[in-house]
């Protein structure tokens, strides 16, 4: 099941999500990220979009997450009006319909809570929009207790931010049992 949470409630209840806003007075972006233990970028040994979701599901299963929360950094709708009118490919159209059917549309800017049984379907459509839409770059997802943050880049690389020592050790231990390897991005921790 997919449950929608208003942005205001999500910001009060889930305080570890990264946030980004533009300050017109200062003419600069203001970025917030909570304190973290580790910051990693991982990728598959070989690029394969189907395997990416399966390997991510393995990792989430190991961490025993029953629900995931998704929230964009920026206060904007999940689906822009141009996105809602664009029809570019079968998989893109399927992803757009999935989000619309679940109430995630042109006026919704809040958080989305997804149950474990729906992880694969949701993440598949989520990654499709990430790959096809430059507008859809700023979403993170986390477990209910906010121990770890994930962000999927359009390239298929995944940013992983661990927020406590225990989850950092668990992540480092289990990621070796997946097809993920270090992306070796500058200024990130190594696996």
How much is the pLDDT for 133? 84
Radius of gyration in angstroms for the set of CA atoms belonging to the chain, rounded to a whole number: 16
Question: Looking at residues 12-34, what average pLDDT do you find?
Answer: 90
Distance CA 14, CA 128 (A): 25
Rounded to the nearest angstrom, the gap between the alpha carbon of residue 20 and the centroid of all alpha carbons in its chain is 15
How much is the pLDDT for 22? 86
Question: Looking at residues 49-58, what average pLDDT do you find?
Answer: 94
Q: How confident is the model at residue 21 (pLDDT cuts 50, 70, 90)?
A: confident
* Domains in the chain: boundaries: 2-182
The chain-wide mean pLDDT, for the chain, equals: 94
Neighbours of 164 (CB within 10 A): 16
Q: Which of 50, 76, 65 is nearest to 147 (CA)?
A: 65
162, 38 in Cβ contact below 8 A? yes
Please say if the pLDDT value at position 92 is more than 80: yes
100, 75 in Cβ contact below 8 A? no
Helix, coil or strand: residue 120: helix
């Amino acid at each position: 099941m997919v449950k929608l949470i208003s942005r205001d409630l999500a910001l009060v209840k889930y305080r570890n999500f990264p946030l980004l806003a533009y300050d017109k007075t200062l003419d600069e972006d203001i970025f917030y990220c909570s304190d973290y233990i580790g910051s990693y970028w991982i990728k598959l040994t070989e690029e394969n979009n189907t395997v990416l979701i399966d390997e991510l599901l393995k990792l989430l299963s190991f961490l025993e997450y029953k629900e995931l929360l998704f929230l964009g950094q920026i206060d904007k709708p999940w689906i822009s009006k141009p996105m809602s009118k664009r029809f570019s490919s079968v998989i893109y159209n399927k992803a757009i319909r999935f989000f619309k059917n679940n109430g995630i549309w042109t006026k919704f800017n809040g958080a989305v809570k997804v149950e474990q049984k729906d992880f694969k379907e949701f993440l598949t459509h989520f990654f499709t929009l990430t790959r096809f839409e430059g507008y859809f770059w700023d979403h993170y997802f986390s477990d209910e207790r906010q121990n770890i943050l994930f962000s999927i880049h359009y390239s298929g690389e995944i940013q992983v931010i661990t927020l406590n020592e225990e989850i950092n050790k668990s992540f480092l231990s289990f990621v070796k049992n997946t097809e993920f390897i270090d992306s070796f991005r500058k200024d990130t921790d190594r696996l």
